[in-house]
Amino acid sequence: MIPDGTMADAHPTIRVYPDRPTAAAAAAEHAAAIIREAINERGEARIIAATGASQIEFVDAITKAPDLDWSKVEMFHLDEYVALPMDHPASFRRYLVDRLITPAGIQRYHLLDGESDPQETCRIVGEALQSGPIDVTFAGIGENGHIAFNDPPADFEATDPYLVVDLDEACRRQQLGEGWFPTFEDVPKQAITLSAQQLLKSKSVITLVPDVRKAAAAKACLEGPISPVAPASILRQHAGNHFYFDEGAASLLSDEYRSSHVVTP
């Protein structure tokens, strides 16, 4: 916060690519470079990994990044549904095991178990998360502007590393629309999420935002006020955040905003 009570804007730059695969590949290359640098400096890297449809190409690309020693990477989990079995197709634990942990050969990881006691999971994984620095967090923006599972109005003040939150209808309908659940009633109503304040503690954040269906949320979060009603807007407070968009996601950004914030790759 700055003295007048408003939130400081770090004015992050945005890289816009012609299509989704190109944006994902560029984001993965940047993320891999951050991980390599941390390993070179400290002998290890600590990351927080995102999931979901928007991250599939990114995760695939980073597992194939050259000269990246995954045995020296400790991975944490961004968010997970409450009461969803790990063998469910929508389980983010399953997603990470199948798409990142196993292909990369990550040996140290902390998954969020939302099945038993979500609050206890928050405590245990949160303590492990806070035991050292986080070098990079992977993130995206939801159709309702959420970051992780912080739906609007998000809690920008909570200091706990993980929170149990209620999911709003727009978020749940996005999960249905992406094909993760057969009916709206099957979509969980609660989730465990990394808190907004914890997100800001990461040294770097790689935020990948593909698809035109994210365009309205992207515009609100980037050009509107930094506000809990546009949760991903909080990323503008993080000087180490790097946005990667495809043209669809960037399609509603104003010419004025693009001229001052968008970097041509």
At residue 65, the pLDDT reads 97
Q: Please, what is the average pLDDT of the chain? A: 95
pLDDT (average), residues 61-78: 97
Tokens of 216: 């309205």
Domain ranges of the chain: 14-254
| Residue 1: pLDDT over 60 | no
At residue 11, the pLDDT reads 78
What is the CATH class of 14-254?
alpha beta
Choose among 134, 150, 246: nearest CA to 194.
150
At residue 228, the pLDDT reads 97
pLDDT (average), residues 119-144: 97
pLDDT in tens, 254-265: 999 999 999 888
Q: What is the DSSP string of 137-182?
A: EEE---TTS-BTTBPSSP-SS--SSEEEEEPPHHHHHHHHHTTS-S
| Residue 226: pLDDT over 60 | yes
pLDDT (average), residues 184-202: 97
Radius of gyration, alpha carbons of the chain: 17
Q: What's the Cα-to-Cα distance from 139 to each of 6, 38, 58, 79, 241, rounded to whole Å?
A: 24, 19, 11, 10, 10
| Residue 6: pLDDT over 80 | no
Confidence class for position 235, pLDDT limits 50, 70, 90: very high
